[in-house]
Structure 1
Amino acid sequence: MKPLRKMILSTVLLLTCAAPLALAHAHPKQLSPQADVSVAAPKEIRIAFSESLEPALSSIKLFDAKNKLVTDKSAVDKANPKVMALPLPALAGGQYRVEWVAVAEDGHRTSGHYRFTVK
């Protein structure tokens, strides 16, 4: 019985220590424009994350419906390092794909994408 108790205690301890590591990843909390919406041409893409970002390693890119890069000049907000923005040129009507990479200050990397449509 003691080996089983020791194994259970070790497993609980391991899971308790590993849980904070999962929380260190930066995940999107707010998207502007939101995913899968039709909007008037936005002036920027703005994503708020759950963690502060490493500016040199985090980015947003915008692609048009033909998979052509529209712009990739994003930056992490100096006043709020949990926010990253991509200023946009005038966008024509159509569907666009946003691709983002977020590297938290502790080095954990997440990435994703979503679409929106300009009316």
Structure 2
Amino acid sequence: MSFKNSILKSVRHAAIFATVMMTSVAAFAHAHLESATPGINATVSGQPQAITLNFSADVMLMNVKLINAQGQAIPLTYQISNELKKSFQIPVSTLTTGKYTVQWSAMGKDGHNMNSDYSFSIQ
């Protein structure tokens, strides 16, 4: 292998390494749900007044649904806003005992869409 080919090979490896590192950093930069109230997989004894979603960075909350154990959607009064923030509080109506699933979708400042869900139970 010639000296020129060796240098080109080294440059190519460095470019691949830099691309992988930048992609990894970008993946970790996306916002995620840090905590919620009621807590993720929590069992609470009383009626929650609201669902609070706390994100790791400012996001626009695009949608949030509350689903009971029978798969029925519980009406929420959340309306989409263009406001970017880390914490959202969504009032809830009276809930009975049982398991509930919170489904949410959000968009980060970078336009990255994310969605997930979590469950909690009321005794």
Instruction: Specify the TM-score bucket, using the shorter chain as the normaliser.
Output: 0.7 to 0.9
Q: 1:84 to 1:93 in 2, by over 3 A?
A: same
Match of 1:38 in 2: 43
Instruction: Give 1:76 shift.
Output: 7.6
Asked if the contact 2:31–2:55 (Cα under 8 Å) also holds between the matched residues in 1, the reply is yes
Q: Is the 8 A contact 1:100 1:111 kept in 2?
A: yes
Aligned CA RMSD, in angstroms, stands at 2.3
1:18 paired residue number: 23
1:118 maps to what in 2?
Answer: 122
Which residue does 1:52 correspond to in 2? 58
Q: Give the counterpart of 1:4 among 5, 9, 28.
A: 9
Q: Which runs of 5+ in 1 are unaligned?
A: none
1:102 is matched with 106
Amino acid at match of 1:70: I
TM-score in terms of structure 2 length: 0.81
Structure 2 spans left out of the alignment, 5+ residues: 1-5
Equivalent runs, 1:54-69 vs 2, <5 Å = 54-55=60-61, 58-69=62-73
Normalised by the length of structure 1, the TM-score is: 0.84
Greater displacement, 70-79 / 12-21: 70-79
Alpha carbons 2:60, 2:81 under 8 Å: kept: no
Which has the larger strand fraction?
A: 2
Q: Which moved more, 1:19-28 or 1:70-79?
A: 70-79
Please tell me whether residue 70 in structure 1 is matched to residue 74 in structure 2. yes
1:85 aligns with 2:84: no
User: Number of matched residues?
Assistant: 117
Contact (CA 8 Å) 1:29, 1:48: kept in 2 or not? yes
